[in-house]
Amino acid sequence: MFNQTNSCLRLRNHFVHLINSFNLYDHDDSLTRAEQILSTRIFIVFLSISLYSVLTITALLPQTRTITLVLPSPNEFNNFVNEYKSTPTCRCSQVSISYEQFFSLDSRFHQVCSSDFITEQWFSSLFNENTSSYHPLDFRLTASPQFQVLAVLCTMSRETVLHAQEQFLSTQFITPNALSKFDFDTYTAALIDQLNKTTVAEFYADNHFISSIIDQYEYTSALRTNFYTISIPGSSSYTNFPTVYPTQANLDQSSFISNGTCSCDVTSNCAYPAGIYNHSMSIVPNEIFLPDASRLFAVTGFKIGCVPQNALLQSTLECLYNQSCLNMFVALTAAITTVAPLNMSSSSRFLLTTTIELMFKNLMLESWEGFTNFSESFRTCAPKACSYSYVQRFYFIYMMTTLISLYGGMSVVFQTMSPCL
C-alpha cells in the first residue's frame, strides 16, 4: 500500500514537472528559458481558446446536407422516404403518364343485371296475344315492358361506367416529381372517389333532364296505362281521357293527390302495388281504377302506374329474391320456369327494400374499385436522380474538417505572436 502511494506521488510529480518544463521555444536563443516557457504557455492558452471557439461555432452553426440517389429503384426510393420521413426531390424524365399505365378499374353491378330477368327469353314469355286485354292494375299488362326497362337501365349503367372508365384511363397524369407511395395512394384514392361521384352526378342529371322532357310532352302509352282514346259516336273524332289511379301511402310526394286519387294528366308518377287479377275489366272514362276482391296475387315490391318506366323506378326487387313469390308469378303469367331467383346470400350494399330508382341513381353499382401499381408509376416517371436536403447541427465530420483546416494556420500565428506578448 505504501509502495503504491509512493508510485502515484512520483508519477504526479513527474507529470507536473513535464508541464512546468514544457517548452516549444527551446530552439529560440533570443529568449531566456523562463521567457520560452512563458511563451509556450501563452501559445497553448490562446490555441486552446481558439480551437474551442471554432469547435463550438461549427457545432452550433446549422449545416445544409444534401443526399443524392442516382437512378433509384422503387424500393430504394421507398426505403429512403421511410428512413428520412420526407420525400426527396426526384425530377421525372417523363412528366406526362397515362393513367392506364398504372391504373386499373373494376366495377361490380347488382346481380339482377346479370340475371335471367333481363333476357329476351324472359321478356317474350311474359307477353302473349291476351296481354293487351288485361286491366291497367294487372301486372301482366306491364310486366314485360317493365323488365325490358330494367334491362335498359342495366345496359345504360354498364355503358356509362365503361365510358367513364375509358375516358379516365386515357387521361394524362402530369407530375414533375415522383410521388412517395403514401402520397401516391392518397392521390389515387381521391381520384377513384371523385370519378365515382362525378359519374353518378352527371348520369343522374342527364336522365332527369330526359325524364322531364318526356313528362312535359305527355306521350300516350300503347298499353293505355296513362291515357286512353275513345271515339266519339257519330263522328270521326276521338277524345283522350287520363287514367286515374287510387293513391298509395308511399306515393311520390311530387304526385298530384286529390280526393284519394292520382291523375296521369297531372303527373306520370302515379303508382299502385302490382297484382294479378282474375278477369279483364272494361275502361270507363274518368273512372278510378280500384282493386277488387278478384285479385289473385300481389307481386311483392312491384308497382304499376302511368308509365312502365316510372312505375318500375318506384318498385323494389323483393319478389325476385323470394322463391315462393316467383313461383306464383311464373304460374299465373305462364312465364318460363327455368328462371332462378336472385341470391339472398350474395353481398350487396342495397337492401331488398331499396327502390330501383335509388339503385339506378347509383348506376346499379355494388362496387367500383381502383387498383394501382406504384412501382410501374415510378418506373414510368424514371427519375435519373433524387436529392434530399436537410439542416443539421453538431455534424461531426464538418466540425473535424473545419478544426483541422484552421489548426495549422492558428498554430503558426499564435506561435509567432506568443513571444511578443
What's the confidence (pLDDT) of residue 250? 40
Give the pLDDT band of residue 252 (cuts 50, 70, 90). Answer: very low
Question: What is the four-CA torsion angle of 249, 126, 276, 262, rounded to 10 degrees?
Answer: 30
- pLDDT tens column, 13-61: 655 556 666 666 667 656 666 666 677 677 777 777 777 777 777 666 6
Give the pLDDT band of residue 112 (cuts 50, 70, 90). Answer: very high
User: Which segments of 288-416 are extended strands (E)?
Assistant: 295-305, 365-372, 385-392
Residue type, 353: T
Give the pLDDT band of residue 286 (cuts 50, 70, 90). Answer: low
Could you tell me what percent of the chain has a pLDDT over 90?
32
Domain segments of the chain as ranges = 30-62+394-421, 67-102+377-392, 104-372
- pLDDT tens column, 225-242: 877 766 566 666 667 778
Rounded CA-CA distance 319/299 in Å is 6
Is pLDDT above 80 for 266?
A: yes
Rounded CA-CA distance 243/253 in Å is 19
Rounded CA-CA distance 142/310 in Å is 12
Is pLDDT above 90 for 353?
A: yes
Residue owning grid cell 273512372: 287
User: Which segments of 95-135 are extended strands (E)?
Assistant: 96-98, 103-109
Using CB atoms within 10 A of its CB, is residue 301 exposed (0-12), middle (13-18) or buried (19+)?
buried
| Helices marked H in 22-138 | 33-60, 74-84, 120-125
Could you tell me what percent of the chain has a pLDDT over 70?
70
Distances (CA, A) of 234 to 238, 282, 311: 11, 21, 37
| Helices marked H in 314-395 | 318-321, 323-333, 356-361, 374-381
Task: Please tell me the least confidently modeled range out of 50-64, 241-255, 271-285, 337-351.
Answer: 241-255
pTM over 0.85, yes/no:
no
Is pLDDT above 70 for 410?
A: no
What's the confidence (pLDDT) of residue 223? 73
Task: Please tell me the least confidently modeled range out of 43-47, 404-408, 417-421.
Answer: 417-421
Distances (CA, A) of 191 to 102, 171, 194, 204, 330: 13, 12, 5, 20, 45
Segment 115-123 mean pLDDT:
95
What is the CA angle 127-332-142, rounded to 5? 40
Average pLDDT value for the chain: 79
What's the confidence (pLDDT) of residue 333? 87
What's the confidence (pLDDT) of residue 230? 65
What's the confidence (pLDDT) of residue 291? 56
Cell of 164: 367513364
Contact between 274 and 140 (Cβ < 8 Å): no
